[in-house]
Amino acid sequence: MAEPTPAQGMPTPDQVLQMMQGKMGDTLPEWPAQLKDQAPDLLLSTAMLSKGSVARAESTIPLKYRHLMAVSAALARRQPACARSQARMAMAEGATADEVMDAVRIARHLIAVGVIDAAAPILADLDAARG
């Protein structure tokens, strides 16, 4: 895929990488730079997904809360660098340390409940084995 030009209204892969570095700082994983060189179209499409979700200007949810939601989602997906960068961005938007910790607590709870939910067939087998 040819690299889009700014005249087409799309940022270049270099611009996307610079934006990510500016927002994520030392929490930026290696893959954006790798994609910039190996698959710039994939880097651009990933950036557009972010623009349409967490960064969506039309959202009725305040940005700090969108970042806090992203903290919980990233933790649930076991993505510590993403969770850390989202926490930093939430705090830059006014979230408190207590609010970030609440997002961590919520993620932990939902992950723990997910384990119990996944164990439901085992629990049914145990009930059946008990008679």
Task: Examine residue 39 and state whether it is found in any structural domain, yes or no.
Answer: yes
Q: Which domain holds residue 31?
A: 10-51
Question: Within this chain, do residues 47 and 70 fall inside the same structural domain, yes or no?
Answer: no
Question: Within this chain, do residues 43 and 25 fall inside the same structural domain, yes or no?
Answer: yes
Question: Within this chain, do residues 82 and 131 fall inside the same structural domain, yes or no?
Answer: yes
Question: Within this chain, do residues 85 and 122 fall inside the same structural domain, yes or no?
Answer: yes
Question: Within this chain, do residues 45 and 62 fall inside the same structural domain, yes or no?
Answer: no
Question: Within this chain, do residues 84 and 107 fall inside the same structural domain, yes or no?
Answer: yes
- What does the pLDDT read at residue 7? 45
Question: Within this chain, do residues 123 and 64 fall inside the same structural domain, yes or no?
Answer: yes
Per-residue three-class SS string for 1-61:
CCCCCHHHCCCCHHHHHHHHHHHHHHHCCCHHHHHHHHCHHHHHHHHHHHHCCCCCCCCCC
Predicted TM-score (pTM) of the model is 0.76
Question: Contact at 8 Å (CB) between 61 and 95?
Answer: no
- What does the pLDDT read at residue 48? 86
Question: Within this chain, do residues 67 and 35 fall inside the same structural domain, yes or no?
Answer: no
Mean pLDDT in each 10-residue stretch from start to end of the chain (131 residues)?
54 93 86 93 89 90 97 94 94 98 96 93 96 84
Task: Examine residue 4 and state whether it is found in any structural domain, yes or no.
Answer: no
**Number of separate domains in the chain:** 2
- 3-state class (DSSP) for residue 72: helix
